[in-house]
Amino acid sequence: MSRVVVAGMGAVSPAGWGVEELVSAIESGAALDRARLGHPGRREIDALNAPKPSKEILARIRHPRLRRVSGISRFAVAAGLEALEEARGRVCFEETRVGVVFCSTCGCVTYSRKFFHEVLEDPGLASPMLFPDTVFNAPASHLAAVFGGTGENYTLVGDSGTAAEGVAMAANRLLDGAVDLCLVVAAEENDWLIADAVGHFAKSVPVAEGAGALALALSDEALPRLDTVTDPQFYDAAAGRPADVALKRMAAQLGGEAATVNDLLLAGTGGLPRLAKAEQAAWADWPGQTINVKTTMGEGFAAGAMWQMIIGASALRKGFASRALVSLPGAYQFAIGAGFSL
Amino acid sequence: MTGGGLLTSLGSGWEANAAGFREGRAAFREVQGFDVSRQRVKVAAELDLPEGLPESRLSNREANRADRGSRMLLWAGQECLAGAAWETPRRTAVVLGTTSGGMTVGEDYYRRAIGENPTRKGQADKVVHYQARRQSSLLQQAFGLEGPAFVVANACASGANAVGLAWEMVRSGRVDRAVCGGYDALCQLVFAGFDSLQALSSTMCRPFDAKRDGLALGEGAAVFALEPLEEARRRGARILGEIRGYAAATDVHHLTQPHPEGVAALDTMRRVCETAGLTPLDIQYVNAHGTGTPLNDASEAAAINAWAGADAAGIAVSSTKASVGHLLGAAGAVETAVCLMALEGGWLPPTRSCRTPDSACRFRVVTEPEAAPLENVMSNSFGFGGANASLILGRVS
């Protein structure tokens, strides 16, 4: 994958609408404003919401397709367009051969919840206005419509590791010659249902919403390069597959053993103590700097994984690191990692 | 493709389905899995799951917790891998398509979360099993498949995308083999969604019929084993067929409606032929997306007419959604299976509910069972959100 480079990046996060806002917030480490989220009148947990977009951002994502959409589609479009715009200045590609790989863990949960609530109240009266935007690939479809992308367009679902799988798929399609440039976008939106679900496992890390995007292309320019995406390593304590073994395998596949003090580790555990312990054990001998994006940004699932990759690629661009390794222990399913270098 | 496993409302297993598709038998009934009494339409191609689960590496605890979609997937996977009879473990990609994943589990979670006396008992387990990646993880763990995995949720094109992407991974040498396909279980949210859009037929699913009035939903799973042709020949495997081309494109016309002239569909069909090095004259049969909705079939007919040009009249087209309904994320995979069955058996699967083909169809709609020697066939999947994909499958001598 050595010719696969990060030609552009885009982000929407609790810190704001843009990569600069995300990177600055991680660099400063200052706490962001939290909200409380939960079923009305019941258990609530902390949440980090994306702030309202500025007029400039609203003008940038103004499109008929986005008239009735929920947050996830707006986030995906804004991050995707930011990454695409930056890529236009760095690499050459045919606009009709831009692919999209969209990744999400929770998908279009707000409209899904609203629609299903209506179904439970009276299926004969559930609104057809809501249903189309419940579908997993709706955000990817909107993004393509906004920039006129008629090329390949895939939506991948899974836990946070799905963002790394999306990067791998995009790299494959670039190397196959199917696309000239591929936008990998991961997005999530906050909803009380997500908070309710997360509350069964972790209450110490707030749920977060937003999107992250990488525009990948083939190039020999001095840009952050994708070195590898590991195979998924499964863990399930109940089935005799401990997390620490899986994470150590992932770390070894990423080349963690050969790390130097100049390398940067983007750790990925959030509020699951057992998983955090396993990740710490897997990277116990790590000699370089470690950043955990979730400390500032909360649990953003697939979007959070993309924020990790953006922070890594940004550090490479600024010369703060020679390699950036992204560790992604997904909630209860598998560990996967991605490695970048300059 | 050296292994195939299949479950639809026509039955469990490759042979039972081949017999049903060859006859053009329709298998619909009033939905039993959830309450449809308040829906405009009450029927779907709902299947009877086999008892229990196939023998696998899953613990009893994991097996007992498997949701309906996982069970379909595991049965189809077991049949597929038994047919492929791979002896030595190798790096194997798993690429699956779905639209709903574990949605039935998610629905249960929500009902309990909003109930008057919400209980936390069992809810955490539902969160884990709801996630769409869970089913593919179970398949990998059940049969010891180690390698990269992708779960594609590209609406109605998901299954075709999964097969095409897996093919690309095998032919590029990134993996030694792949297990691919699609699965989707009927669930209340999706059924009510299509009903709310009035996209479901209130009479009978009649793809390409002049009086068609909508689609019928179905459920099922289809899973395939992919390996390089030379490897399959070397070990003397039964070869169901060969993938000769794959193409995908995006229709940005509208979120739920295809471009009236089928512009992206045409692009997909032309590019899949380029990939395969074939022309429309080389394709004897097209398994159409053919949902039975007025807009889809008109758009697809326009695309097929334009793609085939003067040769359109010589091309046989049918939609097997008239038999098993629209399986959404599994549709492209099940229809790939139908194409393989037709190639191997030398027959065309009819759309028997199409009595009077729409005048827009310049091609021949197959409405009765017939024998036909086939070399190359095309499978179209043109989905919601503009996700379009086509595959070309060929017979291997």
Average pLDDT, chain A: 94
Check if the beta carbon of residue A327 is closer than 8 Å to that of residue A266: yes
Average pLDDT of the residues in B133-159: 93
Q: Say if the Cβ atoms of B113 and A196 lie within 8 Å.
A: yes
What does each C-alpha distance from B331 to A24, A82, B250, B337, B383 come to in angstroms?
Answer: 46, 35, 18, 10, 10
CA distance B11 to B32: 17
Nearest to B130 by CA among B155, B111, B156: B111
| Average pLDDT, integer, range A167-180 | 96
Task: Give how far A251 is from chain B: nearest CA, Å.
Answer: 16
Q: Alpha-carbon distance B45 to A140, whole Å?
A: 29
State the smallest CA–CA distance between residue B341 and chain A in angstroms.
28
pLDDT at position B203 is 96
Does A303 have pLDDT greater than 80? Answer: yes
What is the per-residue pLDDT for A74?
98
Locate tokens 């469990």: which residue?
Answer: B12
| pLDDT for the residue B88 | 85
What mean pLDDT do residues B343-353 have?
98
pLDDT above 70 (res B63): yes
Residue tagged 């790390």 (tokens): A259
Cβ distance of B131 and A155 shorter than 8 Å:
no
Calpha distance A209→A12 (Å, rounded): 8
Please list every residue in chain B whose beta carbon sits closer than 8 Å to the beta carbon of residue A112: 189
Nearest CA in chain A to B96: A156
Where would I find the beta strands (DSSP E) of chain B?
Answer: 3-8, 11-12, 29-30, 43-44, 92-97, 149-152, 177-184, 220-226, 242-250, 285-287, 316-318, 347-348, 364-365, 370-371, 376-382, 387-394
Q: Which of residues 229-258 of B touch A (CB under 8 A)?
A: 248-252, 255-256
* Chain B residues whose beta carbon lies within 8 Å of the beta carbon of residue A151: 249-250
Do A141 and A312 touch, CB atoms closer than 8 A? no
Q: Which pLDDT band holds residue B218 (cuts at 50, 70, 90)?
A: very high
The predicted structure's pLDDT at residue A40: 78
Q: Which of A110, A133, A136, A146 to mutate to test the interface with B (most CBs of B within 10 A)?
A: A136
Q: Write the pLDDT tens digit of every residue in A99-142.
A: 999 999 999 999 999 999 999 999 999 999 999 999 999 999 99
CB spacing of B249 vs A151 below 8 angstroms: yes
- Considering chain A, what percentage of its residues have pLDDT values greater than 90? 84
Query: Which residue of the set B129, B326, B354, B361 is catalytic?
Result: B326
* A214-266 residue pLDDT tens: 999 999 999 999 999 999 898 877 777 788 999 999 999 999 888 999 999 99
Kindly determine whether residue B193 and residue A162, on different chains, have CB atoms separated by under 8 Å.
Answer: no
CB-nearest to A200 from B39, B123, B196 is B123
Interface ipTM > 0.85: yes
What tens digit of pLDDT does each residue of B179-196 get? 999 999 999 999 999 999
Contact A157 B151 (CB under 8 A): yes
User: In this model, does residue A271 exceed pLDDT 90?
Assistant: no
Beta-bridge mates of residue A12:
A17, A211
Best mutation target, A45, A137, A274, to test chain B (most B CBs within 10 A): A137
Q: How many CA atoms lie within 13 A of B134 on its CB side?
A: 27
Task: Name residues whose C-beta falls within 8 Å of residue A157's C-beta, 6 or more positions apart in sequence.
Answer: A103, A104, A105, A107, A136, B98, B101, B131, B132, B133, B151, B153
Identify the residue among A112, A154, A160 best suited for mutation to test binding to B, counting B beta carbons within 10 A and taking the highest. A154
Residue B255 to residue A138, Cβ atoms within 8 A: yes
Span A267-293, average pLDDT: 91
- Looking up tokens 């470690």 gives A290
Instruction: Give CA–CA dist B100/B104, Å, rounded.
Output: 8
pTM of the predicted model, to two decimals? Answer: 0.97
Interior angle at CA A184, CA A183 and CA A190, nearest 5 = 125
Indicate if B289 belongs to the active site: yes
**Statement: residue A1 has pLDDT above 60:** no
Residue in B80, B129, B156, B180 annotated catalytic? B156
B326 is catalytic: yes
Question: Chain A contact for B176, CB < 8 A?
Answer: no
Nearest of A238, A327, A190 to residue B129 by alpha carbon? A238
User: Average pLDDT of B46-53?
Assistant: 95
In the set B80, B129, B289, B339, the catalytic residue is: B289
Measured between CA atoms, how close is B36 to chain A, in angstroms? 8
Residues A8-67 pLDDT 10s: 999 999 999 999 999 999 999 999 999 999 887 778 889 999 999 999 999 999 999 999
**Could you give the 3-state DSSP secondary structure of residue A323?**
strand
